[in-house]
C-alpha cells in the first residue's frame, strides 16, 4: 500500500458505504466527494490518523501483561506449558499475517483505505470482548491471539498509506510519520500500565472498548483518502507471501529486509 493523493471533502459525510457489483462482484468504497482537501483539512486528517494510532496502540498493548497469567491458570500453573502455548500463539499470528497482510494492502489500493482500517478494528473488538466474557476458554484465547495479532499490521498498513495519501513522499510525510509513531509509542507505554492495573478479563474488556472507540473514531473522523484515479486493479499474484523476495534485487532494500527480519526474530 502507498498510493497517494486525496479524495475527501472535509464537509462531506463520511462512513457512508456503497456496495456495487464490479471488480469480480465486489466493491466497497466510501461516499464520493466533491473536492480535494484544503491544507487545513489535510492537517485535520493527519491529526485523526495519529490519534487513531495512539488509541489502537493502547488497546493492543493493554493485554500484553495479562494474557500469559490467564494462560498460566488454564495450564494449571505449569510455566513450561504456558510458554509453549504462548509461543504457538505468536507463531500462528505471524504466519497468518504473512498471508493476510499483503491481501489487505492490495485491497486497500483497490477499494480504498478506510474499509480495511475498520475491518481489523471490528474483528479485534469482537474477539477481545469474547475473551473478556470467557477468559478461561483456551480455544477462544488462542484464536483471539492469532487473529488479533495478525490484524495489527493489517490495520497499520492502510493507516500509514492514508498518511502517505495526505502528505505525499517528502519531508512532510517524514514529519507526519514521526508524529504518528510518537502517538503509537505513548499508547504502547500507557496500555500495559492500564492492563496490569485492571488485570485478567477486565483488561480484555477495556481493550475491546478501545478497539471499538478506534472504529468509531475512524468511521466518523477520517474520510477516504485514495482517489479513484489512483486506485489499482486488484492483482492476486501480488499477494503472494513470497513477493518480498523481490526486495533482494537491490542491495539497500535487501539489507533493510534482513535487518527488519533479524529485529523481529529478536523480539
Would the pLDDT of 234 be above 90?
no
Tens-place pLDDT, residues 123-132: 999 999 999 9
Task: Work out whether the CA dihedral 184, 190, 196, 198 comes out positive or negative.
Answer: negative
Mean pLDDT (whole number) for 176-184: 93
Would you say 226 and 157 are in contact if contact means Cβ atoms under 8 Å apart? Answer: no
| Burial call 110-129: b when 16+ CB within 10 Å, e when fewer | bbbbbbbbbbbbebbbbbbb
Residue 155, CA atoms < 13 Å, CB-side half-sphere: 28
Instruction: Kindly list the distances between the CA atom of residue 126 and the CA atoms of 114, 210, 242, in Å, as whole numbers in the listed order.
Output: 19, 12, 31
| Burial degree of 171 (CB within 10 A; 0-12, 13-18, 19+) | exposed
Query: 9: which residues sit within 8 A by CB, 6+ positions away?
Result: 33, 34, 35, 36, 37, 41, 223
Instruction: Kindly list the distances between the CA atom of residue 14 and the CA atoms of 8, 83, 105, 160, in Å, as whole numbers in the listed order.
Output: 9, 44, 21, 19
Would the pLDDT of 20 be above 50?
no
Cell match 504456558: residue? 82
Query: 237: which residues sit within 8 A by CB, 6+ positions away?
Result: none
What's the pLDDT score for residue 2?
46
Cα 241 to Cα 97: distance, rounded to the nearest angstrom: 9
Cα 48 to Cα 214: distance, rounded to the nearest angstrom: 10
C-alpha grid cell, residue 124: 479485534
Q: What's this model's pTM, rounded to 2 decimal places?
A: 0.81
Tens-place pLDDT, residues 31-82: 344 467 777 888 898 999 999 999 999 999 999 999 999 999 999 999 999 9
For residue 228, name the pLDDT band (cuts at 50, 70, 90): confident
E strands, the chain, in order = 17-19, 28-30
Mean pLDDT (whole number) for 225-239: 85
The better pLDDT of the pair 150, 14 is held by: 150
Amino acid at each position: 500500500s502507498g498510493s497517494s493523493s486525496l479524495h475527501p471533502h472535509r464537509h462531506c459525510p463520511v462512513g457512508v458505504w456503497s456496495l456495487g457489483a464490479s471488480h469480480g462482484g465486489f466493491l466497497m468504497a466510501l461516499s464520493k466527494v466533491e473536492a480535494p482537501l484544503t491544507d487545513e483539512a489535510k492537517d485535520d486528517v493527519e491529526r485523526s490518523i495519529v490519534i487513531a494510532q495512539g488509541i489502537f496502540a493502547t488497546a493492543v498493548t493493554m493485554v500484553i501483561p495479562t494474557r500469559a497469567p490467564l494462560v498460566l491458570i488454564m495450564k494449571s500453573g505449569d510455566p513450561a506449558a504456558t510458554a509453549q502455548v504462548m509461543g504457538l500463539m505468536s507463531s500462528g499470528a505471524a504466519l497468518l499475517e504473512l498471508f493476510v497482510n499483503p491481501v489487505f494492502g492490495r485491497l486497500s489500493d483497490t477499494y480504498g483505505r478506510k474499509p480495511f482500517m475498520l475491518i481489523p478494528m471490528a474483528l479485534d473488538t469482537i474477539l477481545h470482548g469474547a475473551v473478556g466474557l470467557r477468559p478461561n476458554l483456551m480455544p477462544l484465547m488462542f484464536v483471539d491471539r492469532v487473529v488479533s495479532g495478525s490484524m495489527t499490521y493489517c490495520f497499520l498498513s492502510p493507516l500509514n498509506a492514508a498518511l502517505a495519501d495526505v502528505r505525499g513522499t517528502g519531508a512532510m510525510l517524514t514529519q507526519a510519520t514521526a508524529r504518528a509513531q510518537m502517538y503509537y509509542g505513548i499508547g504502547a507505554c500507557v496500555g500495559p500500565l492500564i492492563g496490569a492495573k485492571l488485570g485478567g478479563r477486565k483488561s480484555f474488556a477495556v481493550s475491546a472498548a478501545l478497539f471499538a472507540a478506534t472504529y468509531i473514531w475512524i468511521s466518523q473522523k477520517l474520510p477516504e483518502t485514495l482517489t479513484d484515479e489512483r486506485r489499482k486493479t486488484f492483482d492476486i499474484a501480488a499477494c503472494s507471501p513470497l513477493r518480498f523476495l523481490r526486495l533482494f534485487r537491490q542491495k539497500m532494500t535487501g539489507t533493510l529486509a534482513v535487518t527488519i527480519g533479524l529485529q523481529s526474530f529478536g523480539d
